[in-house]
Amino acid sequence: MIEMNDRKELFKDIKKIVVKIGTSSLITKDGKFNREFANDIAREVSKLKSKGKDVILVSSGAVGIGCEILDFKERPQSIPLKQATAAVGQSLLMHEWSNVFEKHGLKVAQILLTYDAFSDRKTYLNLRNSMSSLLELGVIPIINENDPVCVHEIGETFGDNDTLSAMVSSKVEADLLILMTDIDGLYTKNPKKAKDAIKIPVIEEITPEIESFGGSASEKGTGGMKTKLEAAKIAQKSGCYMVIASSEEKDLISKVMNGEEIGTLFLPKKNIEGNKIRWITLAKPKGKIIVDTGAKNALLDHKSLLPRGVIDIEGNFDVGDIVAIESGEGIFAKGITNYTDKELNKIKGKNTDEIESILGYKNYNEIIKHENIGILK
């Protein structure tokens, strides 16, 4: 068991912190923006800044605030109406954050993201550079999903920004991610329904048993405990500590930083993947390559993917796109393809020395080079 002194030792050199605030924490039960809570967050962030820490906020709440402004009694169901509601609420959300941080002499910047920002390598790098510049200027980046332009169900991809906050943490190489929610950690059962639920203080590895503890979404937000566990997987692979804790805990951020045993702490993996591989594993694939067992074993052994091991192709993709790699047991990797889907359909199952005779050229021996493959664990 990791005690308070241990946590304090673990967190003593933490420099960059991402704090995710969910809808259920930021919006009151009667649908109002919780200004008292927001003021407390600004005060705590100001303390961290005075100690030389970099802080990034990932803030939900645009749809919730939009519902209040538009006098909606319930959260809208259709995607166009949700997007319109988010567009109305986002401007006020940023206005509120700007006001509370201004009291502490801090400036904020709005960054709205979609999954595509993590899928395109150039956009991904530009975003990371932009974020670094803001932090160097002492500005607090406030990030949210760009709901009005998303083509998928709002919240479906990022789960009330749980996954988004972990992807941001990975991208900026944060040391600590704090998920502020309406439950004070991960329990063996839903503590709101089961009296015998037991809180798990520290998790080193997310096993199938741990995954079974994931719960359903809260009423105001879209992210239940299941999406928080997905976020934890990303954080662990990125070398980032993650804490799930209750936003009702007074001075939560300070207490976490001081090493108090609050919430559930997820420990990072010891063998951390490079930024490029993390980008590959987090990116949205354009298509899918189905491989045989021999090819799967070779990839797991850090070998390249050759045409001989390809069984089938799904989707449309170009050279340089991210594709998912699947075997009979499901998707186990992602990679950057050296060939288009049309080219692969012609050379799948063939030997490397047959590529040129089939296509009339051979740009690469490998379909995907081993250094461009990220294994999903």
Predicted pLDDT at 219: 40
* Calpha distance 281→334 (Å, rounded): 6
Q: Tell me, what DSSP letter sits at residue 80?
A: H
**pTM for this prediction:** 0.80
- Domain boundary assignment for the chain: 4-276, 285-375
Strand ranges of the sheet holding 202-203, from the earlier edge strand across to the other edge: 108-113, 140-145, 54-59, 16-21, 176-181, 241-246, 264-266, 202-203
DSSP run (H or E) holding 331: strand 330-336
What is the secondary structure of 117-134 as a DSSP string?
HHHSHHHHHHHHHHHHHH
Mean pLDDT of 223-227: 73
Q: Which CATH architecture has domain 4-276?
A: 3-Layer(aba) Sandwich (3.40)
Sign, CA dihedral 65-66-71-72, equals negative
**Alpha carbons 233 and 114: distance in angstroms, whole number:** 20
Cross-strand pairs, 373: 335
Q: Give the residue, 220 or 181, on which the prediction is more confident.
A: 181
Sheet containing 287-291: give its strands across.
Answer: 310-315, 287-291, 322-327, 330-336, 373-375
Tokens for 176? 């600590």
pLDDT of residue 217: 43
Q: What is the mean pLDDT of residues 33-52?
A: 95
Give the model confidence (pLDDT) of 310-353 as tens digits.
999 999 999 999 999 999 889 999 999 999 999 999 999 999 99
Handedness of CA 357, 359, 365, 366 (dihedral sign): negative
Residue indicated by tokens 């009339």: 360
Indicate the residue type of 336: I
Question: Per CATH, the architecture of 285-375 is what?
Answer: Roll (2.30)
The pLDDT of residue 352 is: 95
Strands (E), 208-301: 241-246, 264-266, 287-291
- 255 sits in the region (left: phi over 0; alpha: psi -120 to 50; else beta) called alpha
Strand partners, 112: 144
